Chain A
Amino acid sequence: MNQFKMILRLAWRNLWRNHRRTLIMIAAIVIGAWSMIFMTALMRGMVDDMVADGISVLPGHVQIHHPDYRDDPTIANVIAPPSGELLEALGGAEVVAWATRVRVPAVISSERDTRGVTLVGIEPLRERDISFVAGDVVEGEFLTSPDDRGLVIGRKLVEKLETGLGKRVVVMSQDQENEIADRGFRIVGIFESKLAQYEEGFVFAGETVVQKLLGVGDQISEVAILGSDYRNVETLFRSIEAAAGDGVETLPWNEIDSYLGSMLAVMDGFVIVFIVVVFLALSFGLVNTLVMAVFERVREIGLMLALGMTPRSILGQIVTESVLLLIIGLVIGNVAAIATIEPLKDGIDVSIVGEGMEMMGASSVLYPALYLKDIVMANLIVIILGFFASLSPAWRASKYDPIRAITKV
């Protein structure tokens, strides 16, 4: 213990013998650590946002469909509403909310124009807890019941159709007998979404009204189920799948939207690659600093060896010096990263490339997401790899022959 204290003291003092070099190295570590954490937070924030939006707009964490629905999303592929065992499972603790929907392709016409859309029949009260529409109605009102005869459509679609609140539109789809079914709706609500695609492509009506229009009785297209954490849907998925039985297809969100699912997985890998790459760029400087520090002190190290210090304590001293350097840099880097992320918590406006972000499925405001897990990982990677990187110069120093080292000019 005493020896460790002495090594620590020696390492600390040696660090400040050449304060310029030490400060430059610390600055490099600070920038490295800052960039690791900052960049990770930005990327996490973007992906979280994409996934959260994607989930809130469409799937829910787990969905139940007719086995053919995903391939052929029409009114032909409907299932019975949840009952029995499934209904029980939906009441379980892991389910935060659930709702049924009838979802079919349709054509909507105003007096001025015609568009292809997805018509979604919803249970307004249940849907409120799951998808975005309820909170985002900016004009008029959200639907009140499955029997509500109004229609809620997106702002962009309203503009394209040159229609407005209170006006009538005609929605055309196909019923179960493959006959064209159409019906006039009054627009009762207009919503806005972060993703223009949804504002343009989806219209919402009462579930019962749509069922009647399409002649499917009480049958539905899907059951959407929301759990507490989208990152961990496995348990929820398993219990629902078991309860739903074999006649239907039960899927977690990351299989329904493989783009979002793979995005999340790829990002996990990318974060580690980024941290390691930055560390490697840093490691050259770190090793260099240690090599220089050792080189300058050849005689001194020889003297210590001659005085009876063990090669192991020499090794320990150099490695301690390196670890001290890393710790100082990391502490400042962490603080700097948190200090830069904190004021950005309200979002970074990237609307200048908004449509590009949308193409990636992200919104035009970035919310950095700082995870303890990422911070710990970045720091651990730097300390552990840094430790190994400093072994080589330290090892060389401990192998000096004392006599030759002392006499070296």
Chain B
Amino acid sequence: MSNITFRLAWRNLWRRKRRTWLTVGAMVFSNIILVFLISMQLGMYAMMIENTLRAQTGHLQVQAPGYKDDLKMRQVVPDVIDLAAKLRSEIGSDEIAARASAFALVSSEERSYGLQISGVEPEFETRVSSLPGLVTEGRFLEDAMAEEIVIGSVLARNLRTGLGDELTIIGSGRDGSFAAAVVTVVGVFESGMPDMDRGFAEVPLGFFQDTFYMEGAGHSVVVMAPTLIQVGALGGRVESLLPAGEGLVVHNWDVLLPGLKQAIQADFVSAWFMYGILIILVAFSVLNTQLMSVLERTKEFGITMSLGVTPGRLGRLVLLESGLMGSLGLLLGIVFGGALVAWLGHTGFTYPGLEEMAGQFNLPGRIYPQFSAIGLLMGPMIVLLASVTASIYPAVRLHWLEPVAAMRAAE
């Protein structure tokens, strides 16, 4: 757009300073809220995903088909330790580990609880899971064959047991036969996630296989990608490396934990309902301002048209004016919103009741919004777009303007 038209548009904005500032103010207000909330959501989602995946499923899992829904002992990945080793060497990543899992009754001297026991590779589990790092008492598992167990802190309390105590495990093996073993508690972890702390325990995979008659098999190979974005590509690579003929499948985290992704989606959609309302209200503000501004300038537009300027060109001038207002709103919104996000990214954000709610989604009680280009730009860009769109009507109206009648209009 050329120089004079640009200047014309800019100066037109300031013919009614207060009106323009009020309109820009509406944009800035909405933009700050959008920047803040979207950055907050992105921060929350990233944490929800990362915390949950690190603690539970990992980014990808190789499983027998149907296992994720049924969790049956017999839906196994054969030679799971070898497969994990092969994937590690082929992909060149240490963040791959084999697991097996079973329901069992775990008893101390005084108490018994039914819970899920995982068999893990001590050496590699530390690379794929946050759990080993959450051991607050004792240590994590070390030897693949040792008769040892690591349990959640609430479970330890409920079982009235502690480091060095023996627990009895009773369950059924892969073939449905009776399986039992005695293990020593070597570590207690505290994840902050009630379900995990109350009902989860890990034993070495080799020992697990012996106890539950797994014959070298396991239930999954857990794979972590360097970042969430790379999960898809890595999944394809893992798939190509699977042994043929065994019908194993690769599941992404969103398939393994559909609730997580859907909770995010549900939250996202409901949040966008509110954003949509804000954006529409800003659009109405712009529509009103620009319509008034066009009506005020009827005479001026009449003259300009008599000079041979087409209505289309004047329409573009109106759109440019809205675009300029929108850009101003965008700029100020990003500056103020960004400052707010940066500050809260530093101090964290909380409100009464958040902590109780956050626990449900594996979140801490203090949320740190994510300072990112997308969080800063997404909302304000849409507001800008909506502003320009809203002024299409006043711009198009110019096509019905008759220069002679327009010039007769009162100033």
Contact = CB atoms under 8 A, between A and B. Distances in A.
Contact of A178 (B109, B158, B267, B278): B109
Given A71-B157, A259-B360, A354 B262 contact: yes
Interface string B349-381: 001111111011100000000000000000000
B226 interface: no
Contacts of B46: none
Contact of A72 (B157, B281, B359): B157
Interface in B68-121: 70-73, 102-105, 107, 109-116
B278 A277 contact: yes
B288 A25 contact: yes
Contact of B356 (A261, A295, A357): A261
B114 A105 contact: yes
B285 A180 contact: no
Contact of B259 (A74, A259, A261, A359): A359
A80 interface: no
B190 to A, nearest CB: 15
Contacts of B30: 281
A114 B273 contact: no
Interface stretch (B20-28, B214-222, B320-328): B20-28
Contacts, number: 196
A259 B280 CA distance: 34
A281 B26 contact: yes
Contact of B280 (A31, A111, A262): A31
Interface in A216-271: 258-259, 261-263, 265-266, 269
Contacts of A388: none
B360 A359 contact: yes
A73 B265 CA distance: 35
Contacts of B199: 116
Nearest to A360: B263
B53 to A, nearest CB: 14
Contact of B285 (A28, A172, A278, A360): A28
A213 interface: no
A317 interface: no
Interface residues of B, number: 71
B116 A356 contact: no
A288 B19 contact: yes
B266 A353 contact: yes
B263 A353 contact: yes
Contacts of A277: 33, 274, 278
B348 interface: no
Contact of B284 (A31, A160, A269, A355): A31
Interface of B: 16, 18-19, 22-23, 25-26, 29-30, 33, 70-73, 102-105, 107, 109-116, 157-158, 170-172, 176, 199, 258-267, 269-270, 273-274, 277-278, 280-282, 284-285, 287-289, 291-292, 295, 351-357, 359-361
Given A265-B352, A350-B266, A356-B260, 10 more contacts: A28-B285, A76-B111, A113-B172, A173-B112, A262-B354, A281-B277, A281-B281, A285-B281, A292-B19, A359-B262
19 contacts: A18-B292, A21-B288, A21-B292, A24-B284, A28-B281, A72-B157, A72-B158, A261-B356, A262-B355, A266-B354, A281-B26, A281-B278, A281-B281, A285-B26, A285-B284, A288-B23, A356-B262, A359-B263, A360-B263
Complex A-B, nearest 10 residue pairs according to Cβ-Cβ distance, in ascending order = A356-B262, A116-B114, A284-B26, A356-B263, A107-B114, A262-B353, A262-B356, A353-B262, A28-B284, A355-B259
